[in-house]
Structure 1
């Protein structure tokens, strides 16, 4: 959708068309709020983004009336996480044991999910999506943010807004422009993403394969395995100098069932490097601006939890901000509610990052140091005796520490009239 240069106005400017930005935009538009999402790319077609759609996000899509369209997307379902060792496979995480509408994680190319959300949002008369609009800075009146400046194909422009929400990721332009300080936690590894094309069945289980100094995680997809290869931080140049043959050999050693398929990794140009960071803002907001998702808290890819946390942030923000932004309450109430968004979402952020850092320390760091890593034998024996225990880690990974629900006024249930009441 093309835009025009110059100055325009909206009620809520959302910077970044990722899951958090589009979910927030869709919900606010269903509340009648004028909302504009600015996305710097021309489309959503970028590979190796977070492709996990968790049970709570699936329930959200159902409540929004989008489940039928989502089910039509190409996808695979992950139902378990298992450990293979000592001659047997032990299920440690079992989503199918959860009493949920959707007891699995759906693996869907993120561009398909984003296109679906954007299409649904465009049906709302107060929603605008501006692609190829790269935000370059914020507009201020005194100490208050009153909008953003951007570059677009038609030239530079300015969008004024009552509230600006940063959903533009871990290197957020808005967050840096406002100068919100972050607490960063050390991470010793990075991730390299690539595909291994295969016609072999790849199952419905997501589990890391650990070798001395090497870790890979294979994510089942239609026609290929999406592979995360973990290595020491700062070794991207060394990995590329080793060449594609060495990488193929590493993958074949840890995924021997795909040894005949690794030739499908054509070259190192097909291998994307992710600089893994874990941090969170000390304060998510300032006058006129709020940060959510990765713009507020960069997550490790371990567990694929980041996208779910970002969507939950958006649900909480929409529920708390829709009324004052729509004119249903005093405008000064927006500022107070920005702090409430942070208070509500701080606990699940801190708890999730603590879990990821624990997994880093107990599993991935030792494995990358060449040590043997395996769950305690007592734990494996206990899980074999009481398989129902596998529902606990499934709930943590699939639901999270504080799940949010779609507000009633944003739901679109088949056979029921739409009601947009706060």
Structure 2
């Protein structure tokens, strides 16, 4: 039977970052990804300032900045009078970490994979789907998997880390219980073409609010990734109304994009996301740790899911690499990772729950369109207070730094450092 030091299940941002960091520590690490590549639409594509700083600390800044991307410098909300109020001015943060990079997630994951494959102790197995856990004497000792052609196999490991998302097979297999929080909306993602004259740097993102719905446009090089927000449970109604009615809804929200809505050929061009917000009560059992969405599914509100998952991976690598090199990871080690990352997770999820109650519930019940008046007042009249918001979004409440064993000389414009 095959064996490794650590098996990471799921090749998303948390899994690929953890694999890279552990390999740089000299740990034998194997990452399993069930798909044949990372090329899938409608994943989060925001790389936040704290992650960009981490990339510089890893000595990968020059290559990262060479990837196709746009720079998001603020988030604004429309006012009833037709103006805009900026709620997140990232440009005011200390450079060079004063923006959020907008880039396709597959480019980011391929970038991490290339870096990890330079390490002799790293292995990436594509088209390997984990199906169950192996245990011995009450401790998880590895995973069973199946490949695309149906071949079954098993992989022993000193530690299994589940980074397989909000529908994690492994956390279900371990019987880990989560606390669910209500979410008032679901999201439909789709593409619209982006004209040549509209390309380039992204000054900001402005959501558009309508009558019990909203839409946001995220910028990619040649197209917009559009997110349509509607009340949870409205999926059947949207399907029954058909594609023409859906186009009408988007045109009402974004009339400036009405000239390209024929790009939505049918409702099959929409990708429905059942938005969830939950958090495991306990992120681990002996021999298994859950991080990222496998430990805490995040709402798209604030777009912080990737950043939080990456920060989980950094904290896990810093604590677990020495234990893995010793060949003995204890439950005490796994509990320490949860303690480190639970506080920022609770803070961010609390902010998201507030956003749900203050913005989305009134919107979908027809009581108000847009943020509450108190928030708009604070944004306009208490700039010091509102200056905390972009920092919270860009860096998070507990940004992690690359552990010493993973650092390399930074070739990019940012300097690797251990300070904020």
Return the TM-score normalized by structure 2.
0.93
> Is there any run of 5+ residues in structure 2 with no aligned partner, and where?
412-420
User: Shift of residue 100 of structure 1?
Assistant: 4.3
Aligned match of 1:60: 54
Aligned match of 1:127: 122
Q: Is the 8 A contact 1:293 1:313 kept in 2?
A: yes
Aligned match of 2:16: 22
Q: Is the 8 A contact 1:60 1:406 kept in 2?
A: yes
Match of 2:198 among 183, 198, 201: 201
> What CA distance in whole angstroms lies between the structure 2 residues aligned with 1:269 and 1:163?
40
Q: What's the secondary structure of 1:297's corresponding residue?
A: coil
Is 1:69 matched with 2:63?
yes
Give the structure, 1 or 2, with the largest relative contact order (CA under 8 Å, sep 6 or more).
2
Aligned length: 406
> Is there any run of 5+ residues in structure 1 with no aligned partner, and where?
1-6, 416-422
User: Shift of residue 74 of structure 1?
Assistant: 1.3
> What CA distance in whole angstroms lies between the structure 2 residues aligned with 1:265 and 1:411?
45
Q: Is the 8 A contact 2:57 2:410 kept in 1?
A: no
Aligned match of 2:237: 238
Aligned match of 1:249: 248
> What CA distance in whole angstroms lies between the structure 1 residues aligned with 2:356 and 2:141?
40
- How does 1:272-351 map onto structure 2 within 5 Å? 272-327=271-326, 331-351=327-347
> What CA distance in whole angstroms lies between the structure 2 residues aligned with 1:260 and 1:388?
41
Displaced runs of 4+ in structure 1, greater than 6 A? none
Q: Is the 8 A contact 1:97 1:388 kept in 2?
A: no
Aligned match of 2:143: 148
> What CA distance in whole angstroms lies between the structure 2 residues aligned with 1:414 and 1:344?
27
Which has the higher mean CA deviation after the structures are superposed, 205-214 or 299-308?
Answer: 205-214
> What CA distance in whole angstroms lies between the structure 2 residues aligned with 1:110 and 1:233?
26
> What CA distance in whole angstroms lies between the structure 2 residues aligned with 1:391 and 1:96?
11
> What CA distance in whole angstroms lies between the structure 1 residues aligned with 2:64 and 2:330?
33
Which has the higher mean CA deviation after the structures are superposed, 92-101 or 9-18?
Answer: 92-101
- How does 1:99-248 map onto structure 2 within 5 Å? 99-152=94-147, 153=149, 155-199=151-195, 200-201=197-198, 203-248=202-247
> What CA distance in whole angstroms lies between the structure 1 residues aligned with 2:240 and 2:171?
35
Q: Is the 8 A contact 1:191 1:276 kept in 2?
A: yes
Match of 1:91 among 57, 67, 86: 86
Is 1:40 matched with 2:34?
yes
User: Shift of residue 188 of structure 1?
Assistant: 2.2
> What CA distance in whole angstroms lies between the structure 1 residues aligned with 2:410 and 2:354?
43
Q: CA, structure 1 residues 28+394, in 2 after alignment: closer, same or farther (shift >3 Å)?
A: same
User: Shift of residue 389 of structure 1?
Assistant: 4.5
> What CA distance in whole angstroms lies between the structure 1 residues aligned with 2:7 and 2:60?
24
User: Shift of residue 377 of structure 1?
Assistant: 4.7
Q: CA, structure 1 residues 393+246, in 2 after alignment: closer, same or farther (shift >3 Å)?
A: same
User: Shift of residue 380 of structure 1?
Assistant: 3.7
> What CA distance in whole angstroms lies between the structure 1 residues aligned with 2:377 and 2:29?
53
> What CA distance in whole angstroms lies between the structure 1 residues aligned with 2:374 and 2:341?
35
User: Shift of residue 91 of structure 1?
Assistant: 1.2
Q: What's the secondary structure of 1:10's corresponding residue?
A: strand
> What CA distance in whole angstroms lies between the structure 1 residues aligned with 2:386 and 2:198?
24
> What CA distance in whole angstroms lies between the structure 1 residues aligned with 2:312 and 2:230?
30
The CA deviation string for residues 328-377 of structure 1, in whole angstroms up to 9 with x for no partner, is xxx44533110000001111111111111110111012112222234455
Which has the higher mean CA deviation after the structures are superposed, 378-387 or 44-53?
Answer: 378-387
User: Shift of residue 384 of structure 1?
Assistant: 3.6
User: Shift of residue 67 of structure 1?
Assistant: 1.6
The CA deviation string for residues 104-154 of structure 1, in whole angstroms up to 9 with x for no partner, is 111110011000101110110000000010001000102110000000137
Q: What's the secondary structure of 2:401's corresponding residue?
A: coil
> What CA distance in whole angstroms lies between the structure 2 residues aligned with 1:136 and 1:188?
32
Q: What's the secondary structure of 1:120's corresponding residue?
A: helix
Q: What's the secondary structure of 2:226's corresponding residue?
A: strand
Which has the higher mean CA deviation after the structures are superposed, 86-95 or 22-31?
Answer: 86-95
